Protein backbone atom coordinates (compact mmCIF):
# COMPACT_ATOMS: atom_id res chain seq x y z
CA UNK A 1 0.00 0.00 0.00
CA UNK A 2 2.96 2.30 0.59
CA UNK A 3 3.91 2.00 -3.10
CA UNK A 4 1.33 4.53 -4.32
CA UNK A 5 2.56 7.41 -2.13
CA UNK A 6 6.12 6.49 -3.20
CA UNK A 7 5.20 6.78 -6.88
CA UNK A 8 3.51 10.14 -6.27
CA UNK A 9 6.52 11.43 -4.31
CA UNK A 10 8.86 10.36 -7.13
CA UNK A 11 6.69 12.14 -9.72
CA UNK A 12 6.47 15.24 -7.49
CA UNK A 13 10.29 15.20 -7.09
CA UNK A 14 10.69 15.23 -10.87
CA UNK A 15 8.17 18.04 -11.27
CA UNK A 16 9.83 20.12 -8.52
CA UNK A 17 13.19 19.59 -10.27
CA UNK A 18 11.77 20.78 -13.59
CA UNK A 19 10.17 23.75 -11.85
CA UNK A 20 13.44 24.66 -10.15
CA UNK A 21 15.68 24.22 -13.19
CA UNK A 22 13.44 25.86 -15.77
CA UNK A 23 11.23 27.98 -13.55
CA UNK A 24 8.27 26.54 -15.36
CA UNK A 25 5.09 27.56 -13.50
CA UNK A 26 3.03 24.71 -14.94
CA UNK A 27 5.58 22.17 -13.66
CA UNK A 28 5.40 23.89 -10.25
CA UNK A 29 1.63 23.51 -10.09
CA UNK A 30 1.85 19.87 -11.17
CA UNK A 31 4.48 19.32 -8.45
CA UNK A 32 2.30 20.78 -5.70
CA UNK A 33 -0.82 18.93 -6.82
CA UNK A 34 1.08 15.63 -7.05
CA UNK A 35 2.57 16.16 -3.62
CA UNK A 36 -0.84 16.97 -2.14
CA UNK A 37 -2.17 13.75 -3.67
CA UNK A 38 0.87 11.88 -2.32
CA UNK A 39 0.34 13.23 1.20
CA UNK A 40 -3.40 12.47 1.09
CA UNK A 41 -2.84 8.95 -0.19
CA UNK A 42 -0.16 8.42 2.42
CA UNK A 43 -2.44 9.65 5.21
CA UNK A 44 -5.14 7.33 3.89
CA UNK A 45 -2.70 4.39 3.89
CA UNK A 46 -1.68 5.11 7.49
CA UNK A 47 -5.37 5.44 8.41
CA UNK A 48 -6.14 2.07 6.81
CA UNK A 49 -3.23 0.45 8.63
CA UNK A 50 -4.46 1.93 11.91
CA UNK A 51 -7.88 0.39 11.33
CA UNK A 52 -6.30 -2.90 10.33
CA UNK A 53 -4.15 -3.34 13.45
CA UNK A 54 -6.21 -1.29 15.90
CA UNK A 55 -3.48 1.16 16.90
CA UNK A 56 -1.31 3.76 15.18
CA UNK A 57 1.08 1.81 12.93
CA UNK A 58 4.24 3.54 14.16
CA UNK A 59 5.71 0.51 15.92
CA UNK A 60 9.25 -0.16 14.70
CA UNK A 61 11.45 1.93 12.48
CA UNK A 62 9.70 1.08 9.20
CA UNK A 63 6.32 2.32 10.39
CA UNK A 64 7.98 5.32 11.95
CA UNK A 65 9.73 6.21 8.67
CA UNK A 66 6.45 6.06 6.80
CA UNK A 67 4.81 8.34 9.37
CA UNK A 68 7.81 10.67 9.32
CA UNK A 69 7.63 11.02 5.53
CA UNK A 70 3.92 11.74 5.70
CA UNK A 71 4.41 14.39 8.40
CA UNK A 72 7.28 15.93 6.43
CA UNK A 73 5.06 16.15 3.35
CA UNK A 74 2.36 17.89 5.37
CA UNK A 75 4.85 20.23 7.08
CA UNK A 76 6.43 21.12 3.75
CA UNK A 77 3.07 21.73 2.08
CA UNK A 78 2.08 23.96 4.98
CA UNK A 79 5.28 25.99 4.53
CA UNK A 80 4.78 26.18 0.77
CA UNK A 81 1.27 27.52 1.20
CA UNK A 82 2.26 30.00 3.92
CA UNK A 83 5.22 31.44 2.00
CA UNK A 84 3.95 30.90 -1.56
CA UNK A 85 7.41 29.59 -2.31
CA UNK A 86 8.00 26.35 -4.20
CA UNK A 87 11.76 26.51 -4.66
CA UNK A 88 12.42 24.38 -1.57
CA UNK A 89 10.51 21.37 -2.89
CA UNK A 90 13.39 20.15 -5.01
CA UNK A 91 15.49 19.70 -1.87
CA UNK A 92 12.85 18.15 0.39
CA UNK A 93 10.60 15.95 -1.75
CA UNK A 94 13.43 13.70 -3.07
CA UNK A 95 14.42 13.02 0.57
CA UNK A 96 10.84 11.91 1.19
CA UNK A 97 10.86 9.71 -1.91
CA UNK A 98 14.11 8.01 -0.87
CA UNK A 99 12.94 7.33 2.70
CA UNK A 100 9.55 6.11 1.51
CA UNK A 101 11.29 3.28 -0.37
CA UNK A 102 11.82 1.49 2.97
CA UNK A 103 8.13 1.20 3.98
CA UNK A 104 7.17 0.63 0.32
CA UNK A 105 9.32 -2.49 -0.05
CA UNK A 106 8.76 -3.80 3.47
CA UNK A 107 5.05 -3.20 3.29
CA UNK A 108 4.07 -4.76 6.59
CA UNK A 109 2.88 -3.33 9.86
CA UNK A 110 4.81 -4.45 12.91
CA UNK A 111 2.75 -6.09 15.63
CA UNK A 112 2.55 -3.99 18.76
CA UNK A 113 4.18 -5.76 21.70
CA UNK A 114 2.24 -5.66 24.97
CA UNK A 115 4.74 -3.26 26.47
CA UNK A 116 3.72 -0.52 24.02
CA UNK A 117 0.06 -0.92 24.79
CA UNK A 118 -0.31 2.48 26.43
CA UNK A 119 -1.79 5.89 25.57
CA UNK A 120 1.70 7.33 26.09
CA UNK A 121 2.89 5.43 23.02
CA UNK A 122 0.93 7.51 20.50
CA UNK A 123 1.98 10.82 22.11
CA UNK A 124 5.63 9.81 22.47
CA UNK A 125 6.03 8.59 18.88
CA UNK A 126 3.87 11.25 17.21
CA UNK A 127 5.67 14.08 19.02
CA UNK A 128 9.10 12.76 18.10
CA UNK A 129 8.18 12.15 14.47
CA UNK A 130 6.73 15.65 14.22
CA UNK A 131 9.99 16.95 15.67
CA UNK A 132 11.98 14.99 13.07
CA UNK A 133 9.82 16.40 10.26
CA UNK A 134 10.33 19.97 11.50
CA UNK A 135 14.07 19.45 11.83
CA UNK A 136 14.25 17.96 8.34
CA UNK A 137 12.56 21.07 7.01
CA UNK A 138 14.90 23.32 9.01
CA UNK A 139 17.92 21.42 7.70
CA UNK A 140 16.91 21.72 4.05
CA UNK A 141 16.04 25.39 4.44
CA UNK A 142 19.39 25.86 6.20
CA UNK A 143 21.29 24.22 3.34
CA UNK A 144 19.61 26.46 0.79
CA UNK A 145 20.43 29.44 3.00
CA UNK A 146 24.10 28.51 2.91
CA UNK A 147 24.03 28.04 -0.88
CA UNK A 148 22.52 31.48 -1.42
CA UNK A 149 24.76 33.03 1.22
CA UNK A 150 27.84 31.72 -0.57
CA UNK A 151 26.70 33.12 -3.91
CA UNK A 152 26.04 36.52 -2.37
CA UNK A 153 29.37 36.57 -0.54
CA UNK A 154 31.29 35.46 -3.62
CA UNK A 155 29.42 38.10 -5.66
CA UNK A 156 28.70 35.41 -8.18
CA UNK A 157 24.96 35.68 -8.62
CA UNK A 158 23.86 32.59 -10.45
CA UNK A 159 21.64 29.59 -10.16
CA UNK A 160 20.44 29.90 -6.58
CA UNK A 161 20.24 33.70 -6.62
CA UNK A 162 17.70 33.48 -9.41
CA UNK A 163 15.64 30.75 -7.77
CA UNK A 164 15.67 30.95 -3.99
CA UNK A 165 13.76 33.36 -1.75
CA UNK A 166 15.69 35.98 0.23
CA UNK A 167 18.13 35.13 3.03
CA UNK A 168 15.76 36.77 5.50
CA UNK A 169 12.83 34.54 4.47
CA UNK A 170 15.02 31.42 4.66
CA UNK A 171 16.35 32.44 8.07
CA UNK A 172 12.85 32.98 9.47
CA UNK A 173 11.69 29.64 8.05
CA UNK A 174 14.68 27.90 9.61
CA UNK A 175 14.17 29.57 12.97
CA UNK A 176 10.45 28.65 13.13
CA UNK A 177 11.05 25.06 12.06
CA UNK A 178 13.75 24.62 14.71
CA UNK A 179 11.53 26.13 17.42
CA UNK A 180 8.54 23.94 16.53
CA UNK A 181 10.80 20.88 16.27
CA UNK A 182 12.38 21.58 19.64
CA UNK A 183 8.96 21.80 21.33
CA UNK A 184 7.90 18.44 19.87
CA UNK A 185 11.26 16.87 20.70
CA UNK A 186 11.05 18.03 24.30
CA UNK A 187 7.47 16.81 24.62
CA UNK A 188 8.36 13.43 23.12
CA UNK A 189 11.35 12.99 25.43
CA UNK A 190 9.46 14.03 28.56
CA UNK A 191 6.55 11.70 27.75
CA UNK A 192 9.02 8.87 27.04
CA UNK A 193 10.80 9.44 30.35
CA UNK A 194 7.57 9.60 32.40
CA UNK A 195 6.26 6.48 30.69
CA UNK A 196 9.54 4.64 31.32
CA UNK A 197 9.53 5.53 35.01
CA UNK A 198 6.02 4.07 35.22
CA UNK A 199 6.71 0.76 33.51
CA UNK A 200 10.39 -0.05 34.07
CA UNK A 201 10.13 -1.46 37.63
CA UNK A 202 7.47 -4.02 36.73
CA UNK A 203 8.51 -4.98 33.19
CA UNK A 204 10.36 -8.11 32.21
CA UNK A 205 10.83 -6.98 28.60
CA UNK A 206 14.60 -6.81 27.92
CA UNK A 207 14.07 -3.75 25.72
CA UNK A 208 12.46 -1.83 28.55
CA UNK A 209 15.29 -2.83 30.84
CA UNK A 210 17.82 -1.68 28.21
CA UNK A 211 16.36 1.82 28.21
CA UNK A 212 18.95 4.03 29.80
CA UNK A 213 20.86 7.16 28.92
CA UNK A 214 23.64 4.95 27.60
CA UNK A 215 21.53 3.20 24.99
CA UNK A 216 22.82 4.57 21.63
CA UNK A 217 19.41 5.67 20.37
CA UNK A 218 18.49 7.49 23.56
CA UNK A 219 21.96 8.96 23.98
CA UNK A 220 22.10 10.35 20.43
CA UNK A 221 18.61 11.82 20.56
CA UNK A 222 19.52 13.58 23.79
CA UNK A 223 22.64 14.88 22.04
CA UNK A 224 20.35 16.27 19.33
CA UNK A 225 18.24 17.92 21.98
CA UNK A 226 21.39 19.60 23.29
CA UNK A 227 22.38 20.74 19.76
CA UNK A 228 18.95 22.22 19.03
CA UNK A 229 18.67 23.78 22.49
CA UNK A 230 22.01 25.43 21.86
CA UNK A 231 20.81 26.61 18.42
CA UNK A 232 17.78 28.25 20.03
CA UNK A 233 19.84 29.76 22.82
CA UNK A 234 22.54 30.99 20.42
CA UNK A 235 19.99 32.68 18.18
CA UNK A 236 18.33 34.49 21.07
CA UNK A 237 21.27 35.31 23.27
CA UNK A 238 24.41 35.56 21.17
CA UNK A 239 22.85 36.44 17.85
CA UNK A 240 23.75 33.28 15.96
CA UNK A 241 21.31 33.60 13.11
CA UNK A 242 21.78 33.17 9.40
CA UNK A 243 24.61 30.93 8.30
CA UNK A 244 25.61 29.70 11.76
CA UNK A 245 22.04 28.80 12.67
CA UNK A 246 21.65 27.09 9.30
CA UNK A 247 24.78 25.00 9.86
CA UNK A 248 23.66 24.03 13.38
CA UNK A 249 20.31 22.81 12.10
CA UNK A 250 22.06 20.83 9.35
CA UNK A 251 24.37 19.19 11.91
CA UNK A 252 21.45 18.44 14.22
CA UNK A 253 19.43 16.76 11.50
CA UNK A 254 22.37 14.73 10.19
CA UNK A 255 22.76 13.23 13.66
CA UNK A 256 18.99 12.65 13.87
CA UNK A 257 18.90 10.91 10.51
CA UNK A 258 21.76 8.62 11.52
CA UNK A 259 19.91 7.86 14.73
CA UNK A 260 16.66 7.27 12.91
CA UNK A 261 17.76 4.86 10.21
CA UNK A 262 21.06 2.98 10.85
CA UNK A 263 21.04 3.17 14.66
CA UNK A 264 17.30 2.53 14.83
CA UNK A 265 17.63 -0.65 12.75
CA UNK A 266 20.93 -2.13 13.82
CA UNK A 267 22.35 -0.79 17.06
CA UNK A 268 19.76 0.13 19.65
CA UNK A 269 18.91 -2.43 22.31
CA UNK A 270 16.02 -0.47 23.72
CA UNK A 271 14.00 0.65 20.69
CA UNK A 272 14.07 -2.45 18.43
CA UNK A 273 10.36 -2.97 17.93
CA UNK A 274 10.36 -3.68 14.19
Partner 1 sequence: MNLILLGASHHSAPVELRERIDFSRRGVPDALSVLGEVPGITELAVLSTCNRSDIYAICEDAARQREALVAFMSSYHDVAESELAPHLYGRQGNDAVRHLFRTSAGLDSLVVGEPQILGQVKDAFTIASQGGFTGALLNRLSQRSFAVGKRVRSETGIGEGAVSVAFAAISLARKIFGSLKGRRALLIGAGEMAELTATHLRSHELHQIYVASRTAARAAVLAAKVDGRPVPWEDITEQLMSADIVITATGSASPIVTRRHLDTAMRSRRDRPLFIMDIGVPRDVEPSSGEVEQVFLYNIDDLRTIVRENLTRRQSQVDRAELLVEEEVDRFMVWLRSRAAVPTVVALRRQFETIRQSELARLEPKLASLPPASRERVEEVTRLLVEKLLLAPTEQLKSATDQETVAVYADALNRLFRLPDESGNSDSDAATAPARPTVPSPRTR
**Among 52, 168, 200, 212, contact with partner 1 (rule: CB under 8 A):** 168
CB-side exposure of 23: number of CA atoms within 13 Å?
Answer: 6
Supply the minimum distance, in Å, between the C-beta of residue 157 and partner 1: 6
- 9 in contact with partner 1 (CB under 8 A): no
**Among 17, 40, 98, 167, contact with partner 1 (rule: CB under 8 A):** 167
- Find the helix packing angle between 3-22 and 25-53, rounded to 10°: 160
Q: Are 8 and 37 in contact (CB under 8 A)?
A: yes
Smaller CB distance to partner 1: residue 206 or 239? 239
Supply the minimum distance, in Å, between the C-beta of residue 244 and partner 1: 7
**Among 107, 166, 198, 209, contact with partner 1 (rule: CB under 8 A):** 166
Supply the minimum distance, in Å, between the C-beta of residue 79 and partner 1: 15
Query: Which residues ranging from 239 to 268 are in contact with partner 1 (CB under 8 A)?
Result: 239-244
Burial class of residue 243 (count of CB atoms within 10 Å of its CB; 0-12, 13-18, 19+): middle
Going by C-beta distance under 8 Å and a sequence separation of 6 or more, which residues neighbour residue 217? Answer: 259, 263, 264, 267, 268, 270, 271
Query: Which residues ranging from 169 to 228 are in contact with partner 1 (CB under 8 A)?
Result: 169
Separation between Cα atoms, residue 169 and residue 28, nearest integer Å: 20
Smaller CB distance to partner 1: residue 197 or 238? 238
Query: Which residues ranging from 13 to 32 are in contact with partner 1 (CB under 8 A)?
Result: 25
Query: Which residues ranging from 146 to 165 are in contact with partner 1 (CB under 8 A)?
Result: 148, 152-153, 155, 157, 161-162, 165
Residues in the interface with partner 1 (CB under 8 A) total 20
Dihedral sign for Cα 122, 48, 96, 148, please.
Answer: negative
**Exposure string over 129-140, b if 16+ CB within 10 A, otherwise e:** bbbbbbbbbbbb
Separation between Cα atoms, residue 208 and residue 37, nearest integer Å: 39
Supply the minimum distance, in Å, between the C-beta of residue 241 and partner 1: 5
Q: Are 150 and 89 in contact (CB under 8 A)?
A: no
Binding piece for partner 1, criterion CB under 8 A, among 12-20, 31-39, 166-174, 262-270 = 166-174
Separation between Cα atoms, residue 196 and residue 163, nearest integer Å: 47
Query: Which residues ranging from 92 to 151 are in contact with partner 1 (CB under 8 A)?
Result: 148
Supply the minimum distance, in Å, between the C-beta of residue 47 and partner 1: 38
Smaller CB distance to partner 1: residue 4 or 152? 152
Which parts of this chain interact with partner 1 (CB under 8 A)?
25, 148, 152-153, 155, 157, 161-162, 165-169, 238-244
Amino acid sequence: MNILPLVLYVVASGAYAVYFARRNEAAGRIATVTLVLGALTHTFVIGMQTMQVGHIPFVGTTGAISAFVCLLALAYLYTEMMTDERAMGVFIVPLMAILQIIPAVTNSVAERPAVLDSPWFAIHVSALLSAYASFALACVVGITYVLLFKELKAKHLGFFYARLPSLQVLDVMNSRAVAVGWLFLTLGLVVGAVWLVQIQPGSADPRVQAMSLLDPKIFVVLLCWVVYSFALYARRSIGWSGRRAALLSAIGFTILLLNFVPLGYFVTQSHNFY
